[in-house]
Amino acid sequence: MAEAKFLIIKQFITRQIESRVWAENAKVPSENELANQFGVSRMTARRALQELTDEGVLTRTQGLGTFVASLKSKSSILEIRNIADEIISRGHQHHCVQIKLEAVKATAPVSIALEVEEGSIIYYSQLIHCENSVPLQLEDRFVNPRLVSDYLAQDFSQTTPHTYLSQMAPLTQAHHTIEAITPEPFQCKLLKLSGLEPCLQITRKTWSVKGVVSYARLTCPGTRYRLDSQLTF
Amino acid sequence: MAEAKFLIIKQFITRQIESRVWAENAKVPSENELANQFGVSRMTARRALQELTDEGVLTRTQGLGTFVASLKSKSSILEIRNIADEIISRGHQHHCVQIKLEAVKATAPVSIALEVEEGSIIYYSQLIHCENSVPLQLEDRFVNPRLVSDYLAQDFSQTTPHTYLSQMAPLTQAHHTIEAITPEPFQCKLLKLSGLEPCLQITRKTWSVKGVVSYARLTCPGTRYRLDSQLTF
DNA sequence: ACAAAAAACTTGTATATACAACCCCAAGTG
DNA sequence: CACTTGGGGTTGTATATACAAGTTTTTTGT
């Protein structure tokens, strides 16, 4: 049950930092110093320092030394899950109602987002995700036809665009914005809303290695949907 | 300029995976096999496998072997930044208007969130974050007095509650929810809103090692504020 | 035939060693 | 003075070796 040596050194270092003995940006003992102090080989001391560096606790620069990383105001992160997974993991039933699936001309804002020429032909899908038959999210999606040529041939009552697209072109990057909006009349109608309730609007732009894959606008009624996230540091 | 040997092996492995030569959960050559194949020592091959494991690309179990990790439907991540940092990084001016800072009795929902007894004394602060003198976020915050005893002695026109709390009790966990709401009259008044515009409401619950530190409700006008995040996989 | 023991293979930890690459500073050089 | 050179300290890469510990397969013993 005796703990590994490099773990003991890691603990020692993190405790020095947490108890403010070693301040931010302070110099940490070198590999050789730690090795002598703890009676281990340099490689073992090195491992402790290296892992803490990978974890963002320390920073190291060759020739200079090892230092306590600046703690920087920890910005939390929120997981944005695929809504289908989310519904299913709640033990509820998910299904899509496909409303539109067609080729359209790119308007100015969409062409900028997709990085294609204004007026060029792109693919557009509109569908509603339902949880136990209640509309939960309206998905308007614009897809780059150069990267996903047979998008229009799909049937999105079976698989969602998101899962289809991630299979076709693995994501390398994503950009999200989240806003609170007052829904447009057509959105109210599709989501069966009275009209006065605010909506969460998530826009999601995704890249693969070859370029912008798709640009989606996800609209969710504020009374029915909520983004949720639990995380540990 | 020649690349390091362990990097070459890492590249080799990731390419096998990306090109679907090695499927999900497939067995990866052992340390010794890779060492022979690439003419390096076992420790070097090991390093490649280890780093890819740390990065979540592979999984390893002692005695069994190394395997391609399941790709799992990539759920994206959104960064929730401290609003003060956010404003400052935009090059704008940030300042707080402290409205309330007092001890109150915990109501039922707050007592549950803070994990204290209903009716017990807790600390409460209410303040507004302004960007260039425009109200951008209303912050209602409830603080556990057992963990942060001198909260009421602070002056939050200088430092924000968030930075003060993270200094006093380093975060170990956080929970967020994001909703779109119609603001209450008192919120409209404080944020100088006309009343009909929807708001983003973020509730943030944070833990330190000793327990629940604080429970905050952040209300932002939908027309002035937007959550934003860019990330690479 | 069944069970226990051993062997073979795997990853995990630890060490000693060598050299490369980089930074800083001081001593020497023009 | 300005510049170069070198030395000492530091992290980075790579190797060979040894043993521990876990899993699977094979062998052995009853």
CATH of the domain at B218: 3.40.1410.10
DSSP state of A190: H
Same domain for B210 and B130: yes
Distances (CA, A) of A34 to A27, A31, A233, B5, B151: 13, 5, 26, 27, 39
A205 Cα to chain B: minimum distance (Å): 9
Q: Do B177 and A232 touch (CB under 8 A)?
A: no
Å separating the CA of residue A18 from the C1' of nucleotide D7:
37
- Cβ count within 10 A of residue A128: 18
The one-letter amino acid code at B138 reads L
pLDDT band for position B1 (cuts 50, 70, 90): very low
User: Which stretches in chain A have pLDDT values below 50?
Assistant: 1
The stretch B34-55 carries a mean pLDDT of: 94
B229 Cα to chain A: minimum distance (Å): 5
CATH code assigned at A28: 1.10.10.10
In a domain, B105, yes or no: yes
B230 has pLDDT over 70 = no
B54, B198, B200: residue with CB nearest A182: B198
What's the number of domains chain A is made of? 2
In a domain, A23, yes or no: yes
Same domain for B6 and B63: yes
Write down which residue in A37, A68, A99 finishes a domain. A68
In a domain, B233, yes or no: no
**Which residues neighbour B162 within 8 Å (Cβ) at sequence distance 6 or greater?**
A73, B82, B84
**Which residues neighbour B217 within 8 Å (Cβ) at sequence distance 6 or greater?**
B139, B140, B141, B201, B202, B203
Highest mean pLDDT among A83-92, B16-25, B161-170: B16-25
Looking at every residue in chain B, the average pLDDT score rounds to 86
Instruction: Note if the pTM is more than 0.90.
Output: no
Same domain for B149 and B106: yes
pLDDT of residue A74: 57
Q: Tell whether B230 is within 8 A of chain A (Cβ).
A: yes
3-class DSSP assignment, residue A96 = strand
DSSP state of A2: P
Q: Do A222 and B179 touch (CB under 8 A)?
A: yes
Q: How many CA atoms lie within 13 A of B132 on its CB side?
A: 5
Same domain for A155 and A44: no
Strand C contact at CB of residue B65, distance < 7 A: yes
Dihedral sign of CA atoms B34, B38, B41, B44 in order: negative
Same domain for A80 and A54: no
Q: What is the pLDDT of residues B167-191, one digit of tens each?
A: 777 777 788 888 888 888 888 888 8
Q: What is the pLDDT of residues A37-78, one digit of tens each?
A: 999 999 999 999 999 999 889 999 999 999 998 765 556 666
Same domain for B142 and B31: no
Å separating the CA of residue B35 from the C1' of nucleotide D27:
30
Strand C contact at CB of residue A62, distance < 7 A: yes
Give the mutation candidate from A41, A138, A178 for the B interface (greatest B CB count, under 10 A).
A178
Write down which residue in B34, B50, B68 finishes a domain. B68
Q: Are A110 and A215 in contact (CB under 8 A)?
A: yes
pLDDT band for position B229 (cuts 50, 70, 90): low
A199 Cα to chain B: minimum distance (Å): 6
Write down which residue in A68, A96, A122 finishes a domain. A68
Same domain for B99 and B48: no
Q: Do B74 and A166 touch (CB under 8 A)?
A: yes
The stretch B139-151 carries a mean pLDDT of: 92
Same domain for A84 and A64: no
Q: Do A78 and B79 touch (CB under 8 A)?
A: yes
List strand C contacts in B 22-51 (CB < 7 A).
28, 30-33, 43, 46, 49-50
Q: Do B77 and A79 touch (CB under 8 A)?
A: yes
Same domain for B61 and B28: yes
pLDDT band for position B92 (cuts 50, 70, 90): confident
Give the Cα separation of A161 and A155 in Å (integer).
Answer: 9
B46 has pLDDT over 80 = yes
In a domain, A180, yes or no: yes
Same domain for A56 and A13: yes
Same domain for B10 and B105: no
In a domain, A82, yes or no: yes
pLDDT band for position B88 (cuts 50, 70, 90): confident
pLDDT of residue A1: 39
Same domain for A134 and A47: no
List strand D contacts in B 10-49 (CB < 7 A).
39-44, 47
Q: Do B198 and A198 touch (CB under 8 A)?
A: yes
3-class DSSP assignment, residue B50 = helix
In a domain, B8, yes or no: yes
Please give the structure tokens belonging to residue A225. 């949907």
Å separating the CA of residue A93 from the C1' of nucleotide D22:
42
pLDDT of residue B219: 92
Q: Which long-range contacts (CB under 8 A, 24 or more apart) does B145-154 make?
A: B145/B103, B145/B121, B146/B116, B146/B210, B146/B211, B147/B208, B147/B210, B147/B211, B147/B212, B147/B213, B148/B123, B148/B213, B148/B214, B151/B123, B151/B125, B152/B101, B152/B102, B152/B103, B152/B123, B154/B101
B107 Cα to chain A: minimum distance (Å): 23
B177, B178, B196: residue with CB nearest A178: B178
Residue A79's domain comprises: 73-228
In a domain, A191, yes or no: yes
Residues 58..77 of B with a Cβ closer than 8 Å to A: which? Answer: 73-77
In a domain, A233, yes or no: no
